[in-house]
Structure 1
Amino acid sequence: MITVGIPFYNAEDFLAEAIKSVLAQTYQNWELLLIDDGSKDKSLEIAKTFESQDNRIRVISDGVNKKLPGRLNQIIYEANGDYIARMDADDIMHPRRLEKQLKILQMYSDIDILGSNAYVIDENNLVFGQRFAKTDGLQKVDHFIHPTVIGKKQWFLDNPYDEKAIRIEDAELWYRTKSFSNFMITNEPLLFYREFGNNYYKKYFQANGSAMHILNKYPEDKFWKNFFLSNKVKGSMYKILNVIGKEQVLIDRRNEKIFEKKINFEKWLEIHESK
């Protein structure tokens, strides 16, 4: 069984679509953990509605805002599956994501964590690119698009997230474990990953809020010094473009363009799956 974990905080605009994409999976031997992080909107109400309709869905809420790393560890400890699949509350799974990733993990049992390529969508579910140009084969990596990953539960138990690494919990985890772990991605896009220019620059500045903790943890490591410097530069660039209403321009440049015009993800699936 696969445990799909979705932590959420004030995600009422997109949470239902994320849950529906799990329900629509071709692989159906899953449980879905919906972990509320102290939402103030209707997210918890939405989650509980789905929980009442499917006994594979479990909602956990304590009313506290513990931040993402703590909730990710909570998913690990609550999971009943042999594998744990990550997903964010504003993303959408490809309907064959679990089926395809599990098949690879069963074929190559030495893989610890398996990620994937991703289509990129905006706030209106329009596909406007994909993260990487290559779309076939497996590739060894040392980091991932975080919500695309699936891995062995035991690996996550042995290597929990650093709960003080706010906004960079994934980068810190991959960095800490890459020397003894087998990280792979399938270059096939299996997630619709949401990115749009709505104060995107704040993500970089918030990540730098963990700088003191990380630099104390890795005092001699140039990687992290360069990481936080790069974040500061990127955050400043995004903020300038945000002020003039052009933040989306930088976001678009992060991805490979697929069509001249954006297309709804459901239409894209219809076209792509018919090939």
Structure 2
Amino acid sequence: MATVDIIVPTYNTAKYLPIALDSVLAQTFEDWRILLIDDGSTDNTADIVASYQERLGSKLVYIKQANGGVSAARNNGIRHATAEFLALLDADDVWLPWRLAESLRCFEDRPEVGLAYGLISRIDSEGTVIDTFKGNRRNAQGKIAPYIYMRSVQLPTSSMMFRKACTDKVGVFDETLKQTEDRDLWLRMAFHYEVGFAPRVISLYRTSDDSLTTDSDGMLKAQLQFIEKHYGSPGCGMTARRIALSHIYRQRAEAFGLRQQMQGAVQSSLRALALYPLDLSNVRTAGSFLLRYAGLYR
């Protein structure tokens, strides 16, 4: 019988933590344990956890650490994990009741599958659904490491489950990566294992009003670091690198566009197009921003 350790990193998210924990309690699969890693919170997280510890006993392990960032917190959880399967839940996200059951189904009679993911919906700060991640059904599962590298498939962290044996083999989150650390780990796993896919919404990812104004330069730096780190690995050659870079610059263009920074949007979209002109999405994005920049389209 499978067991699951659920790793929940939290840092000053007491407002949302009860919602996340209640979503675990509502799971149809019940053989789980929560490893809650408090990454140096200064709010009332400890008080909230205490109330759940009274109810859950040994099914909730509370681990405090000095603030080290989300990767350090998740790695601490992995080090304390003993279950066959590990699942990730951020403290401001929400699982749907079938999340664990659907994820585990991806591994049934498939020892070659090391990690699995599912669909998610984005919600706002109040829990209202914004949109739903559709997934890339063409390259959704199997031996898909090159597609992870090229950013042709997305593996949402709050929907991820993986065998503990995977981290024993490839290591844990790279704490030197301030962003894209999740994609980095999934890629390293996918070099050795097949990826499973649950074609159903299993998790809700909470976004905030300021998510559109994140550090775009910092994100670009981390994404480029990821691409160069794995360049030359199996399936990650020159063409894959150009495709990956084009996806990054198209995403950057779209972020500039949402902030109405048209010059940056045009420059980034043209760079994406130059890197990989065979992708029609690059053509459409560049054309759209050029028209908007010229004042011909709104």
Q: How does 1:190-209 map to 2 (within 5 A)?
A: 190-202=202-214, 204-209=216-221
1:207 CA drift (Å) = 2.6
The answer for the alignment partner of 2:293 in structure 1 is none
The answer for the alignment partner of 2:92 in structure 1 is 90
* Residues 25-52 of structure 1 deviation map (CA, whole Å, 9 limit, x = unaligned): 1111110011111112222332232123
The answer for the alignment partner of 1:60 in structure 2 is 63
In structure 2, what residue type is equivalent to 1:84? L
Is this contact kept in 2: 1:92–1:192, CA < 8 A? Answer: yes
Give the Cα separation in 2 of the matches to 1:216 and 1:121: 33
Give the Cα separation in 2 of the matches to 1:212 and 1:180: 23
Give ranges in structure 2 of 5+ residues lacking alignment.
149-153, 233-237, 262-298
**Greater radius of gyration (CA):** 2
Q: Which one of the candidate residues 146, 149, 160 is aligned to 2:160?
A: 149
Is this contact kept in 1: 2:124–2:207, CA < 8 A? Answer: yes
1:172 CA drift (Å) = 1.7
Q: Which one of the candidate residues 42, 50, 53 is aligned to 1:51?
A: 53
The answer for the alignment partner of 1:16 in structure 2 is 18
The answer for the alignment partner of 2:76 in structure 1 is 74
1:134 CA drift (Å) = 8.5
1:133 CA drift (Å) = 7.0
Identity %: 21
Is this contact kept in 2: 1:37–1:65, CA < 8 A? Answer: yes
Count of aligned pairs between the two proteins:
238
* Residues 35-72 of structure 1 deviation map (CA, whole Å, 9 limit, x = unaligned): 1111122223322321232110011112x211111112
RMSD: 2.7
The answer for the alignment partner of 2:194 in structure 1 is 182
Q: How does 1:1-275 map to 2 (within 5 A)?
A: 1-55=3-57, 56-62=59-65, 64-132=66-134, 139-140=141-142, 141=144, 142=148, 143-159=154-170, 160-202=172-214, 204-210=216-222, 214=226, 217-218=229-230, 222=241, 226=246, 229-230=249-250, 232-240=252-260
Give ranges in structure 1 of 5+ residues lacking alignment.
242-275
- TM-score, scaled to structure 2: 0.70
Give the Cα separation in 2 of the matches to 1:185 and 1:239: 33
In structure 1, what residue type is equivalent to 2:220? N
- TM-score, scaled to structure 1: 0.76
* SS at structure 2 position matched to 1:105: coil
Structure 1 residues 169 and 124 mapped into 2: Cα distance closer, same or farther (>3 Å)? same
